[in-house]
Structure 1
């Protein structure tokens, strides 16, 4: 695959992961807390990185309400080295919903991208127990790292 184009939408029982371009600009701006021009530029840059296979970002929508709750994916993807840096930003969600999203990201990284090492960036709005349950371990510097054993 020359781009990550086919990697959307992804569904979980409660959420839909889709390209940021699939959401209304005002909706994305409200969640990112930016003005419309900044949001449009950010979406354009993010989608360019995704289509260049350097990063992979989805908007995350609650399926029942069609409300964007955040965005996440992989800040960096190094396919030849089988490494990536995962993240999740936006609203702080209940632990059960966080688990559904984090588990989907880990499974996608392992099964679709064949990544064997993941680090987790910006985990402040994630419950530590959720991250640990998904297989991440904290190192001496308090960074979360997942590796396929």
Structure 2
């Protein structure tokens, strides 16, 4: 393993790079689609986030550890925003732009991976799954425009026909109905 000389210049460079990333993360809200607003979870009332977890929803593997008490929701939002501030993920609450109703949460992570693969995780209300397609399309465009990912992944705990078709509409491919991948070098 190569040795990195740690000196003041190296530390200043790393700090500066981290601050540039953080500055760029700060600018990444709100993100808009035709019908939805994606904004920091802290912009949504905790009760509305908690209500999401207590209704039927679609969720990915990493997003499935749902809180069962409002205090756990508060702690969860705090941890999410710490990860955003530490530039390890971008997480937005998804709100209907027309009526202000809270629809879900979506995350991009994988910024520190060597293989340049981003990971998309989400929790979205089940009775409005078609809206998830619009959100995923925008998040894919966003990831492609702002980051150097070569691929994006979505990992489901269990196959879900509705989610599979939404991901396929957005050019994700799968071999096993659990793991979906999008090669960003082949998308327009």
Give how far 1:125 is off. Answer: 7.9
CA contact (8 A) 2:124 2:132 kept: no
Deviation digits for residues 79-127 of structure 1 (CA, Å, limit 9, x no counterpart): 76432110221302242x2221110111111111231111103374853
Alpha-carbon separation, structure 1, partners of 2:162 and 2:121: 10
Partner of residue 24, structure 1: 45
Alpha-carbon separation, structure 2, partners of 1:17 and 1:125: 25
Residue correspondence of structure 1 range 131-146 to structure 2 within 5 A: 131-140=167-176, 142-146=178-182
Alpha-carbon separation, structure 2, partners of 1:116 and 1:83: 6
Deviation digits for residues 26-47 of structure 1 (CA, Å, limit 9, x no counterpart): 1111112332210110001001
Give how far 1:140 is off. Answer: 4.6
**Range moving further from structure 2, 63-72 or 132-141:** 132-141
CA contact (8 A) 1:17 1:61 kept: yes
CA contact (8 A) 1:79 1:113 kept: no
Residue correspondence of structure 1 range 1-149 to structure 2 within 5 A: 1-3=20-22, 4-33=25-54, 34-78=68-112, 81-92=115-126, 93-95=128-130, 97-122=131-156, 124=160, 126-140=162-176, 142-148=178-184, 149=186
Alpha-carbon separation, structure 1, partners of 2:177 and 2:34: 34
Give how far 1:141 is off. Answer: 6.9
CA contact (8 A) 2:119 2:152 kept: yes
How many equivalent pairs are there? 148
Gaps of at least 5 residues in structure 2 are 1-19, 55-67
> Kindly tell me: are residues 142 and 135 of structure 1, through their superposed partners in 2, closer, same or farther at Cα, counting changes over 3 Å?
same
Gaps of at least 5 residues in structure 1 are none
Larger gyration radius, structure 1 or structure 2: 2
Alpha-carbon separation, structure 1, partners of 2:134 and 2:96: 12
Question: What is the root-mean-square deviation in Å for CA atoms of aligned residues?
Answer: 2.0
Of Structure 1 and Structure 2, the greater strand share is in: 1
TM-score normalised per structure 2: 0.71
